[in-house]
Structure formats: structure tokens, C-alpha cells
Amino acid sequence: MSGDTNPIEKDRVARSFLRGMPTYEEQAVVQRLVNEQLIGLLESLGRNRYIRILEVGSCTGMFSRLLYETFSPEQFFLNDLVPEFFQTVKKKLVTAEGASILPLFGDIEHLELPEALDLVASSSTFQWLEDLQRFFAKVHQALAEGGVFAFSMFGEETYYEIKELTGAGLRYPSFALVRDQVAENFKILHADIDRDHLHFDHPREVLGHIRATGVGGVGGFNWTPRRYERFVGDYQDRFSTEQGVMLSYVSYVFIAQKRGA
């Protein structure tokens, strides 16, 4: 993601998301909101169809279904680290005659992308990539002239409360850095930061929510009974509100268009 981050253990990420598959959609409240925002922004461009779409990070298919139903692609390439998600996503898509759902599973940073894409879209995924600048250039090369690049990713201060108390979690690139890297190859049509807060009755529910959305344990924090007890007490002391204990999400949202060479 940036030069000072530790390498992301993508195999561990994949296992965590696979474990979280049964509970992901129930718990992925912020992800659902961002999905809908991305679709709305794409619709505002006035284009009602994209023939060749690549989605990066399909997960269980919440965003996939919105993309497919809104823009009716003839070829819809699905990518995720977890190959087991393909059948889950495919079941959610009612395929039109002559349309194809094409799996492209694996680490997107090391896969060859399809050519002449009209839209590359991704929601809440790019925080897992290690070299955004290189990947953005790769997307630019894969898009047709005038093609659109739409994505959200979690950013700085996501899970702020967890990091404050445990020191564990991803290091996110700054919004300014991501914006500048996108601008190297694309005309930016929309760039914004969204902040959301979820509330829970107890800190254990915060941890359960994180596990249920697939990212539990990724930070590598070593829990012990004493650490857990201290975590609960500190969380309640520092992050309680009238609605319950708080958990922060920050999303970067971008819509961009390919510039000519």
C-alpha cells in the first residue's frame, strides 16, 4: 500500500474471509452503504451500460449483484482471493442471454487483467493491496479508451478504537496519497471521504462484528484473558456513547476515467 507498511499475509486474509462467509452480509453494514453510493455515482455519469466489467474483490456478491443488475454487462469478470466465493456470487446473478460470468480468482496484483474493459469496479477491497500505484497503472492499461475506474477502500482511522487499544491492524495510506496515485493515470471525476460509526452494546460484540465480516485475527494481536479483560474495560471507558460503544469506519470513494496515453 505504501513503503512503510508490513507485507500483508494474503493467505491469512483469504482464510479469514472464507470463515466469515456465512455471516458477512448480515454484518457488512458499512460495506453495503458504500456499495450503494458507488452505484449511485456511476449512474450519475449518465451511462446505463458497460459491456465488459471487472469487479475486484467480489466477496459474497453484494456489490456484484448491484453492478450486474444496473449495467447489464455481456462479460462480467469476477475476482477475489477466495475461489470458493465464485459459486456463491454466481447464484445471485440472473444471467441474460448471451452474457457470461467469468471467474478470475487469485491475487489481482499478480494476475493478467482482461483487455479493453469498460469498467473496473471494487468496493472495500483495495486496503488489502500492497502496491496501489502499480496496480492503478495496470488497471489503466486494461481499460478501453474512456473506460471508468470506480472504487472504495477503507482508509485511515478505520477501526481507530481497536488500534488505540491493541496497536494491531492495517496501516492505511492517506487519502491524499491515494488521490495522487489515481491522478497519475486517470481523470478524477469524484473523490471523497466517508466516515461511519457503528454502535454495539459491549466490546465483545465489536470483536464479533469484526470476525463476522472476515477480518478477525488479521491484525495478529495475541489475546490472553488478562488482555481481553483490560481491553473491555478500556473500550467502555474511552469509546462509550449514548448509543453504545463505537467502532469507526473511514472509506475513500473514487470515480475516475482513463486518460489517453
The pLDDT tens digits for 160-201 are 999 999 988 888 999 999 999 999 999 999 999 999 999 999
Q: What is the pLDDT along the chain (261 residues), one digit of tens a residue?
A: 333 334 567 776 666 676 766 667 778 889 999 999 999 999 999 999 999 999 999 998 999 999 999 999 999 999 999 888 899 899 999 887 778 999 999 999 999 999 999 999 999 999 999 999 999 999 999 999 999 999 999 999 999 999 999 988 888 999 999 999 999 999 999 999 999 999 999 999 999 998 887 655 445 678 899 999 999 999 999 999 999 999 999 999 999 999 864
Q: Which domain holds residue 249?
A: 10-258
- Please indicate, yes or no, if residue 63 is contained in any of the structural domains: yes
CA torsion, ordered 17, 61, 135, 172, to nearest 10 deg: -50
pLDDT of 63-74, one tens digit each? 999 999 999 999
> Which residues sit opposite 187 in a β-bridge?
257
Please choose, from the candidates 150, 155, 141, the residue with its C-alpha nearest in 3D space to the C-alpha of residue 185.
Answer: 141
- Please indicate, yes or no, if residue 27 is contained in any of the structural domains: yes
**Residue with cell string 487499544:** 165
| pTM, rounded to two decimals | 0.91
**Residue with cell string 485511515:** 156
Q: How many domains does the chain have?
A: 1
- Please indicate, yes or no, if residue 5 is contained in any of the structural domains: no
- Residue 161 near residue 246 (C-beta atoms within 8 A): yes
Instruction: Give strand ranges (E) for 57-139.
Output: 75-79, 100-103, 117-122
d(CA 180, CA 107): 24
* 3-class secondary-structure state, position 104: coil
- Please indicate, yes or no, if residue 3 is contained in any of the structural domains: no
- Please indicate, yes or no, if residue 168 is contained in any of the structural domains: yes
CATH of the domain at 20: 3.40.50.150
- Please indicate, yes or no, if residue 2 is contained in any of the structural domains: no
